[in-house]
Chains A and B, each alone.
Chain A
Amino acid sequence: MRNKKATSEASSILTIPGLQSAGWPAFLGIAVILIGILAFPVAFDVRFYFVQVGILIMFYATLGTAWGIVGGYAGQHSIGQAAFVGIGAYTSTLLYMKLDISPWIGLIAGMLLSALIAAVIGYPLFRYGLKGDYFALGTVALGLIIFEITTSFSTITGGSQGIPLKYEENPLNFQFPNRTVYYYIIFIIWILTVFISYKLRRSRAGFEMLAVRDDEIAAARGGISVLKAKLTAFILAAVISAAAGTFFAQFILFLDPSTVMSLGISVQIILVAVLGGMNSYLGGTLGAIILIPVSQLLASTFTERPGTDIALYGVILIVLMLFMPNGILGLFRNSPKWRKIVGW
């Protein structure tokens, strides 16, 4: 009883009100949305282009959610995330093209390699206390180095000319006669990522990440290993990104450095996460749901003057960030009712 206040505060952070406390309307809402997403490609007889936009949304939603773990929870703004997308894509593709190993195995291999590289790179980055903008710039450098190396070692990677993937319709090759299957594969990757992000937020590890983000020194005093918290987040995000990378290479059937590891893609990942609200497990998803269709819509509208669509996209970005610097879900963080659902 003496420590009632203290314990309740600690436990309120650890077991923040989750979806359970939001009650059945939330669950009903989730069920409806998920059924809607699953039914979308088949129920409405939509053209594949719209399925493809759905795939792109979930692809970026996955990457944005993964980024939310390292950028939002742990507060480490990595601007080199595309490097891990690339590592995943190249690992599975090279295994498939050179050794005829199924991309499904390549998917796992890419995730493992990505974890290893994230650990090897992340350790010195965090060990030497690279913080804030310096960490961000460090990851920019990292992304660019991996990009240049991939381009240079063309005997292995195909260099800037890239690799057209072998197309053999066979589920074991990750290749399907009906491309709607890709929609469901990325759906699974996405929903798992969101689930991991949701669970993480409510776990000890997630709590530690938040503590480190909010006050590193206090967290360290409280017995939290700052290095471990940051590294966990970094590796987790890298592993998920690698999985998405393998998926993307198989879907596009072509791979070159600019497709998966350019700085532009790293920034796009941050964009969806930050616009949606990077502190929420739903942020990446919401950001992608808005940004991907907007950019597609702009591109199909302004075809006469190339560049107009991207310039307008820039304006939209500026305006959104100016008025919602914490992202869309950040608008809900002061409402106790909504917080339960968005998990800010």
Chain B
Amino acid sequence: MKKKLTSGLAILAVFGLAVSAMPQASAATKSIKIGLLFPTTGPMALLGTDQSVGAEMVLKWANSKGGIKGVPIEIFKGDSKSSPAEGATAAQRLIDQNGVQIIIGSYSSGIAAAIAPVAQRNNVILWEVGAVSPTVNSQRYSNFLRTVGVSATYAAADYDFTVNFLAKKLGKPAKSLRIAIANNDGAFATSVGDAVNSLFTKKGLDVVAKEVYPVTSTDLTPTILKLKAAKPDVLFLTPDAADALLFWQTAQQQNFNVDALVGSSGIGGAGFVAKFGAAGVEGVYDVEAPALATMNYDGLDPAVAALTKEWVKAFAASEGHPCAVHCGDGIGGAYTLVTDVLPRAFAYKNTTLTAKGIIASAMRTNIKEGGTPQGFGVKFSNTSKSTPGENERARSVIMQWQSGSLKVVWPAGLASSTPIAPMVTWDKRK
């Protein structure tokens, strides 16, 4: 009995020692401490890990180039365990225990919303590269900077593509296209599905079905059958990773055909083509930030393009699958931070790096189209009308699975291929 008690106390003692041994943050900036805080366990682990690895590669690259103006970056990692509360605690730990000045995160909007106040109160930057919900920074925290586009950019791209391409190609006026919207009830999918629905309804398009299925659903046949009964021409589908595959498999089994399917998330993932093969996914669209592995580099600044190609190669080698959308979010966000914002933040107050300096520097960021690995430019909003710290130039593009790779097809400026419609029916895929 005594022994067991002692062992319990020993655990506590170890913790106490660990506490006292924590490194103290240095006043002068000898290194830039950056925390990577992503969901690397739990249901979001799959794509959260991609984002984390993407961002880390860029930070390591910056170090290999001598750091930021000669100051090396120290990288610390945290795991938000796919939970906002765990994320908030992990953020505080990175700040206090590791002394990070910048947190790159968070993949999910809920987690971002929980980390944002922690960052603000500790005067640390939350550099958001993944969350898409527009409400994340509804409290207008000044230390929140987001490089990716919000869900409204998905809706905007969808609308532009529908009206300016699909309607013409399918030979119907946009208003008489039958449009269906489907998403799971998770945070990301709901955010995008609702954004698409409200924009399309507002613009007077004919939304014939809006299906929301539980993210925990074990069978998507009812969803497919309901969609099939609605006879849509175009389907906008926002799933997560696992249900994207189940959806498409069920669509095949139920012989559900639409002229165009615009998916997201798992639809643009590496698993999608791996599972169904090139013929199985031919013609499926995906709306998101561009997938780096298969986008057209012609529109990029040549130096950026060369770097991006390197990272894409390194990512595939270390992770065993191509660098698609989420890896690109991590790379693109971190790239803007280390090449543009941080060097200028230093110039402000030569030797020390402060949150204020970083924000001031970010407000001067003005990257043109083609200046980041993801193709879009960066300019952070700073008006009283919109929420601050949003990248006004972020946007989503329409990609299409063509011959086994996800090609950017819309808008034309970034496109590496021309879109094909209508999509082939299941009986012609075999």
A interface residues with partner B (beta carbon < 8 Å): 47-50, 52-53, 56, 148, 151-152, 154, 159-162, 164-167, 179, 248, 252-254, 256, 258-259, 262, 289-290, 293-294, 296-297, 299-300, 303-304, 306-307, 309-310, 323-324, 328, 331
- B14-36 residues with Cβ-Cβ distance < 8 A to A are 14-15, 18-19, 22
Residues of B contacting A50 with CB < 8 Å?
A: 19, 96
Q: A297's contact among B15, B116, B190, by CB below 8 Å, is which?
A: B15
Q: 9 nearest interchain CB pairs?
A: A49-B96, A306-B40, A47-B96, A254-B114, A303-B77, A164-B113, A253-B117, A254-B113, A160-B187
When C-beta atoms are compared, the residue in chain A nearest to B212 turns out to be: A152
B186 at interface by CB-CB < 8 Å: yes
**Contact call B76/A162, Cβ cutoff below 8 A:** no
Q: Chain A nearest CB: distance from B84 CB in Å?
A: 5
CB of B151 to closest CB in A, whole Å? 10
Task: Given A290-B12, A307-B41, A324-B4, answer yes or no on A259-B135 (Cβ-Cβ < 8 Å).
Answer: no
- Count of chain A to chain B residue pairs whose CB atoms are closer than 8 Å in the complex: 131
Contact B90 A299 (CB under 8 A): yes
Contacting residues, chain B, for A166 (C-beta < 8 A): 139
A283 to B78, CA, bound (A): 30
- Is the pair A162, B113 in contact by a Cβ cutoff of 8 Å? yes
The answer to whether A256 and B5 touch across the interface, beta carbons within 8 angstroms, is no
Chain B contacts of A259 at CB under 8 A?
83-85, 110, 114
| A297/B92 in contact, CB under 8 A | no
Contact surface of B with A, Cβ cutoff 8 Å: 1, 4-5, 8, 11-12, 14-15, 18-19, 22, 40-41, 45, 49, 76-79, 81-85, 88-90, 92-93, 95-97, 109-110, 113-114, 116-117, 121-122, 133, 135-136, 138-139, 185-187, 190-191, 214-215
**A248 to B89 CA separation, bound complex (whole angstroms):** 12
Residues from chain B with a CB closer than 8 A to the CB of A307 are 40-41, 45
State in angstroms the CA–CA spacing of A159 and B81 once bound together: 20
A-B contact pairs, 8 of them (CB 8 A): A50-B19, A160-B186, A164-B113, A164-B135, A290-B12, A297-B14, A300-B18, A306-B41
In the complex, which of the residues B77, B81, B90, B190 contacts A310, with contact meaning CB atoms closer than 8 Å?
B81
Residues of B within 8 A of A48 (CB): 92, 95-96, 122
Cβ of B196 to closest chain A Cβ, rounded Å: 15
Q: Is there an interface contact between B5 and A328, defined as CB atoms closer than 8 Å?
A: yes
Taking A56-B89, A248-B85 as contacts, is the C-beta distance between A331 and B1 under 8 angstroms? yes
Tell me the complex Cα distance, A52–B78, Å.
16
Q: Is the CB of B88 within 8 A of A252?
A: yes
With a cutoff of 8 Å between Cβ atoms, the chain A residues found around residue B85 in the complex are 248, 252, 259
Contacting residues, chain A, for B77 (C-beta < 8 A): 303-304
Least CB distance from B63 to A in Å reads: 17
Which residues of chain A are within 8 angstroms of B83 by Cβ–Cβ distance? Answer: 258-259, 262
A252, B41: Cβ atoms closer than 8 Å = no
Distance between Cα atoms of A297 and B93 in the complex (Å): 10
A12 to B190, CA, bound (A): 59
Q: How far is the CA of A306 from the CA of B116 in the complex (A)?
A: 23
Shortest CB distance B35–A (Å): 10
- The answer to whether B79 and A306 have CB atoms under 8 Å apart is yes
CB distance from A100 to the nearest CB of B (A): 15
Q: How far is the CB of B188 from chain A (nearest CB, A)?
A: 9
Q: Decide if B11 touches A256 in the complex (CB within 8 Å).
A: no
With a cutoff of 8 Å between Cβ atoms, the chain A residues found around residue B5 in the complex are: 328, 331
Cα separation A262 to B42 with both chains bound (whole Å): 13
Given contacts A56-B89, A160-B110, A253-B113, list 19 more A-B pairs with CB under 8 A: A48-B92, A49-B93, A50-B96, A160-B215, A161-B190, A162-B84, A162-B110, A166-B139, A290-B12, A299-B78, A300-B97, A306-B41, A306-B45, A307-B40, A307-B45, A309-B79, A323-B4, A331-B4, A331-B5
In this complex, what residue of A is CB-closest to B114?
Answer: A254
Q: Assess A296 versus B121: contact at CB under 8 Å? Given A161-B135, A254-B84, A259-B85.
A: no
How far is it, in angstroms, between the C-alpha of A53 and the C-alpha of B97 when the chains are bound?
Answer: 12
Contact A306 B49 (CB under 8 A): yes
A178–B168 CA distance with the chains assembled, in angstroms:
59
Known: A47-B97, A167-B139. Is A148-B121 also a contact (CB below 8 A)? no
With A49-B96, A161-B133, A299-B79: A289-B12 Cβ-Cβ less than 8 Å: yes
Tell me the smallest distance from the CB of A94 to a CB of chain B, in Å. 15
Q: What's the Cα separation between A306 and B82 when bound, in Å?
A: 12
B101 to chain A, nearest CB (A): 15
User: In the complex, what residues of B have CB within 8 A of residue A296's CB?
Assistant: 15, 89, 93
Interchain CB contact (< 8 A) of A154 among B95, B117, B190: B190
Please name all residues of chain B whose beta carbon is closer than 8 Å to the beta carbon of A161 when the two chains form the complex.
Answer: 109-110, 133, 135, 187, 190-191
Which residue of the partner chain A has the closest CB to B18? A297
Which residues of B have CB within 8 Å of A310?
Answer: 41, 81
Cα distance A151–B136 when bound, in Å?
Answer: 18
Report Cα–Cα, A48/B78, bound state, in Å.
Answer: 17
Which residue of the partner chain, among B8, B89, B215, contacts A290 with CB atoms under 8 Å?
B8
A49 and B109 form a contact (CB under 8 A)? no
Docked CA distance A47–B116 (Å): 19
For the complex formed, measure the closest distance between the CB of A183 and the CB atoms of chain B, giving whole angstroms.
Answer: 13
Q: When A303-B79, A306-B40, A306-B49 are in contact, do A49 and B187 touch as well, CB less than 8 Å?
A: no
Within the assembled complex, what's the spacing in Å between the Cα atoms of A166 and B116?
A: 12
B186 to chain A, nearest CB (A): 5
Is the pair B190, A303 in contact by a Cβ cutoff of 8 Å?
no
CA of A262 to CA of B81 in the docked complex: distance in angstroms?
A: 13
Find out whether the CB atom of A49 lies under 8 angstroms from the CB atom of B95: yes
Chain B nearest CB from A212 CB (Å) reads 29
**Residues of B close to A56: CB separation below 8 A:** 89
Instruction: State the CA gap A299–B40 with chains docked (Å).
Output: 12
Alpha-carbon distance between A24 and B79 when the two chains are bound, in angstroms: 46
In the complex, A296 Cα to B81 Cα: how many Å? 12
A162 CB contact (under 8 Å) in B89, B122, B185, B187? B187
Given known contacts A161-B190, A259-B83, A328-B8, A254 and B93 CB-to-CB distance under 8 angstroms: no
Are A151 and B139 within 8 A (Cβ)? no
Chain B residues with CB under 8 A of A47: 22, 96-97
Closest chain A CB from B187 CB (angstroms)? 5
Minimal beta-carbon separation of B294 from chain A (angstroms)? 27
Q: In chain B, what residue has the closest Cβ to A275? A: B8
In the bound complex, CA of A8 to CA of B113 (Å): 59
List the A residue with the shortest CB-CB distance to B83: A258
Give B39's nearest chain A residue, CB to CB. Answer: A306
Nearest chain B residue, comparing its CB with the CB of A59: B85
Nearest-neighbour CB distance to chain A for B22, whole angstroms, equals 8
CA distance A328 to B6 in the complex (A): 11
Min CB–CB distance A189 → chain B (angstroms): 17
Find chain A residues with CB under 8 A from B114 CB. Answer: 252-254, 259
Contacts of A299 in B (CB 8 A): 78-79, 81, 90, 93
> Is the CB–CB distance between A256 and B84 below 8 Å?
yes
